[in-house]
Structure 1
Amino acid sequence: MGLRNNQYRWVVLFAATLAQACACFFVQGFGAIALDVKNAMGLDNWQVGMLVSAAQLVPMIGLLVAGELLDRFDERFVVGIGTLIVGGSLCVAALVNSYTELLIILVILGFGYSTAQPGGSKSVSNWFEGGQLGFAMGIRQAGLPLGGAMAILLLPFIAVEYSVQAAFLAGGLVALVGALLFMLLYRSPGLSPCSPKEQIDLRDIIQSRLSMVTEPSMKNIMVSGACLTAAQYAISVFLVLYLHTALGLDSFMATMMFFLVLGSGIVGRISLAAWSDRCKAGRYYPVMTCLGAVTALLILLPLVKGLDLATLSIFMAVTGFFVYGWYGPWVAYVAETAPADRKGFALGMAMTANQVSVILTPPLVGLLRDVFGTYNYGWGVLAVASAVVLFTTSRRYQTMKPQST
């Protein structure tokens, strides 16, 4: 890689991180205005969870399509156009007052949101390799909690001072700016001439792609990613509501605690990913560490009632570090283990497994809260799942290690 390319890759990293933050701004910050949306539209907890799931429904298939597109076309346009769809959808959402209409618009938003995760990850992995891959991926993936942290500072203020619809509009404008900047700044490394894609049989494509599911590393990737995503989205959607209703914190203090979680998550994504570059036990070991930490934190979460604010703040910081930080080393492991010609699809397939959790977790946790009157059952289910996944993936990882040495 030439000197100019070596320097420009940091511009690409900045553009990819900014695009990630802007695309995820509203979706990740929704939890901060969940109480406002709930009150303004007269919703219950299950319906609030469904709003989040609506935006994540299309990516169940869209991530696979986006991954294939990324293997065939320039990331600039795949990611840029997708983020433009996110921005446009949120701007339209600002014009509606019906819950059903809002659900439909958020489903449309999901078409664009499908490109945000695999697209930016592939863009960065094309420019960084070897010892710096985890560090770069960690910075890029910090865009998600960074976007959420920005949203926490802005969206509640906008929702209270103006309206919930104004908050949707703000989220749309942020996404549009991110899309335009990414399309302006990003370019491919250009390390080698691009060869035209061969015309191959659709059946061969499907068999080639889906055969990756049987690989031990991909099994670990998909199961651990889905489990940790479930914990992350449960915290993202319901933490503010939990702190407000169960612990008695006022809305401002509960929101600030969530801000602390996301801020710590930014540090976690970068530092855990950087650790994965140097971890002698392998890049997947930090992911297993996060599974163990998340299990313990979810068990302790129902016990934080009565803690003073200083101790609660420390607990929230540790929670954010692991509940959000896992994604940095995880996505670096995906990019490192995937074949070069199928990297986009591998990222899309791994993130599709995550989408199952994104769709199912918020309504499930909300339903458990509505039925039993407490969030503790939801935290407990997620803790048990994390413990089971840690046990099964660690055993599989131990059998893989001799093959990789």
Structure 2
Amino acid sequence: MAIDTAVPGRIGGGARWIITIVSLIATASSFLFINGVAFLIPSLQTERGIALDEAGLLSSMPSWGMVVTLVLWGYVLDRVGERIVMTLGSGLTAAAAYAAATAHSMVATAVYLFLGGMAAASCNTAGGRLVSAWFPPSQRGLAMGVRQTAQPLGIALGALVIPELAERGPGAGLKFTAVACAVAAVASVIGIRNPPRKPRETASAEELASPYRGSLALWRIHAVAGLLMMPQTITVTFMLVWLIKNLHWSVAAAGGLVTLSQLLGALGRIIVGRWSDRIGSRMVPVRIIAFFAAATLFLLAWADQVNSRYQALLMVVISVIAVLDNGLEATAITELAGPFWSGRALGIQNTTQRVMAAAGPP
């Protein structure tokens, strides 16, 4: 795949990495909210008497909310830039999380979780484009790999904190996500600087043309990213409750293993991002990751069937492999779509992924 050779705006390397860290914080807080409900499932079953399939459906509400607005946020992003989108989105997510925490019925909780997902979609789209635009192609994979650690780090934080808080009730865990998103909103308004871009009025017709016209490259990347989302979603949603119910682990031990797997996944994203810079391709590593993800899933299914002692180890392995590809695909999308379509292209990409994420748990 050809690598975009556009030169980013001229600011110091330190400033670029500060912007990257702020993007990471904002995106991590959004994923803390999106995936945090999964860590409330044991508490929901105990405190509210909800069946596992119903709790899984509730945990998918933020993902369904994201599906509705990802492309819309991408359109807004292409018009007003990253700073406004990430600040507004994080603030609205915080408000929805607090409302869900204080709701008195499960229907109201589900509605607020859905609305929070609609708001959280902002960071998922804007954060990647922000980082990609500030770095040259030779460093872009590494920078996007660092930024893409936001998802596993957000999930790891949720696995470490939310199950313990949820022993006081599900509302305590949701209030924690509200505080995190509020902090992200403040960090975004202070620390984010929009990258310089050519005004639309001076752009050529070729630069403004849809990158989807006459090429299936972007659609193929969307399809691959969506399919590879399924193992990631299943492991994130059910790993904790599977360790507790099937392997009889304590809440603390199960949460610790989930946290470890997400931290390893975060490190892996940085490594594969740098790998893609060195070989000049984003999609070659994705093909290799897809092969090993499929192989490990088959092994895990077999281990669970025969009650193997290696079940927990294989669950960690697939949890790590399943999160490695996201940054590579997002980088490829921004490079192929160009500055005037990257917001919408990332919105379509993330919509495809969230449809799979929302469909997986139920």
TM-score (norm 1): 0.81
1:145–1:265: 8 Å Cα contact kept in structure 2? yes
Displacement, 1:55?
1.1
Q: Could you tell me how far apart the structure 1 residues matched to 2:172 and 2:319 are?
A: 28
SS at match of 1:114: helix
Q: Could you tell me how far apart the structure 2 residues matched to 1:30 and 1:276 are?
A: 33
Q: Could you tell me how far apart the structure 1 residues matched to 2:9 and 2:104 are?
A: 53
Displacement, 1:129?
2.3
1:94–1:168: 8 Å Cα contact kept in structure 2? yes
- Give the equivalent residue in structure 1 for 2:42: 35
- Give the equivalent residue in structure 2 for 1:224: 224
Q: Could you tell me how far apart the structure 1 residues matched to 2:33 and 2:119 are?
A: 13
The gaps in structure 2 that reach 5 residues or longer are 1-7
- Residues 23 and 307 (structure 1), Cα distance of their counterparts in 2 relative to 1, 3 Å cut: same
- Structure 2 counterparts to residues 167-246 of structure 1, below 5 A: 167-190=173-196, 194=199, 209=210, 212=212, 215-246=215-246
Displacement, 1:284?
0.3
- Residues 213 and 82 (structure 1), Cα distance of their counterparts in 2 relative to 1, 3 Å cut: farther
- Give the equivalent residue in structure 2 for 1:294: 293
Q: Could you tell me how far apart the structure 2 residues matched to 1:2 and 1:47 are?
A: 48
- Give the equivalent residue in structure 2 for 1:335: 334
What amino acid sits opposite 2:37 in the alignment? Answer: F
The gaps in structure 1 that reach 5 residues or longer are 364-405
- Structure 2 counterparts to residues 1-400 of structure 1, below 5 A: 4-160=11-167, 162-190=168-196, 194=199, 209=210, 212=212, 215-279=215-279, 282-305=281-304, 306-308=307-309, 314-363=313-362
1:64–1:352: 8 Å Cα contact kept in structure 2? yes
What amino acid sits opposite 1:151 in the alignment? Answer: G
Displacement, 1:91?
0.6
Q: Could you tell me how far apart the structure 2 residues matched to 1:356 and 1:193 are?
A: 33
Q: Could you tell me how far apart the structure 1 residues matched to 2:19 and 2:125 are?
A: 15
Q: Could you tell me how far apart the structure 2 residues matched to 1:108 and 1:98 are?
A: 16
Q: Could you tell me how far apart the structure 2 residues matched to 1:119 and 1:253 are?
A: 35
Write out per-residue CA displacement over residues 57-111 of structure 1, whole angstroms, 9 at most, x where no aligned residue.
2322311111111111021011110111111101111111311111111111122
Write out per-residue CA displacement over residues 141-163 of structure 1, whole angstroms, 9 at most, x where no aligned residue.
10111011111111112111x32
Q: Could you tell me how far apart the structure 1 residues matched to 2:219 and 2:75 are?
A: 20
- Give the equivalent residue in structure 2 for 1:403: none
- Residues 32 and 296 (structure 1), Cα distance of their counterparts in 2 relative to 1, 3 Å cut: same
Displacement, 1:196?
5.3
- Give the equivalent residue in structure 2 for 1:401: none
2:142–2:273: 8 Å Cα contact kept in structure 1? yes
Displacement, 1:12?
0.6
- Residues 213 and 356 (structure 1), Cα distance of their counterparts in 2 relative to 1, 3 Å cut: farther
Q: Could you tell me how far apart the structure 1 residues matched to 2:202 and 2:164 are?
A: 49
- Residues 256 and 339 (structure 1), Cα distance of their counterparts in 2 relative to 1, 3 Å cut: same
Q: Could you tell me how far apart the structure 2 residues matched to 1:3 and 1:219 are?
A: 32
Displacement, 1:313?
5.7
Q: Could you tell me how far apart the structure 1 residues matched to 2:135 and 2:260 are?
A: 30
Displacement, 1:269?
1.3
Displacement, 1:188?
1.8
Displacement, 1:3?
6.5
- Give the equivalent residue in structure 2 for 1:372: none
What amino acid sits opposite 2:333 in the alignment? Answer: V
1:268–1:320: 8 Å Cα contact kept in structure 2? no
2:9–2:195: 8 Å Cα contact kept in structure 1? no
Q: Percent identity?
A: 24
1:59–1:113: 8 Å Cα contact kept in structure 2? yes
Q: Could you tell me how far apart the structure 2 residues matched to 1:240 and 1:187 are?
A: 38
Q: Could you tell me how far apart the structure 1 residues matched to 2:104 and 2:308 are?
A: 39
What amino acid sits opposite 2:91 in the alignment? Answer: L
Q: Could you tell me how far apart the structure 1 residues matched to 2:261 and 2:11 are?
A: 37
Displacement, 1:355?
1.8
1:267–1:321: 8 Å Cα contact kept in structure 2? no
Displacement, 1:227?
0.9
Displacement, 1:195?
5.1
Q: Could you tell me how far apart the structure 1 residues matched to 2:35 and 2:358 are?
A: 14
- Give the equivalent residue in structure 1 for 2:3: none
What amino acid sits opposite 1:145 in the alignment? Answer: P
1:260–1:316: 8 Å Cα contact kept in structure 2? no
SS at match of 2:12: helix
- Residues 181 and 68 (structure 1), Cα distance of their counterparts in 2 relative to 1, 3 Å cut: same
1:28–1:145: 8 Å Cα contact kept in structure 2? no
Write out per-residue CA displacement over residues 210-239 of structure 1, whole angstroms, 9 at most, x where no aligned residue.
x71763321221111111111111111111
1:264–1:318: 8 Å Cα contact kept in structure 2? no
Q: Could you tell me how far apart the structure 2 residues matched to 1:189 and 1:356 are?
A: 30
What amino acid sits opposite 2:176 in the alignment? Answer: A
What amino acid sits opposite 1:154 in the alignment? Answer: V
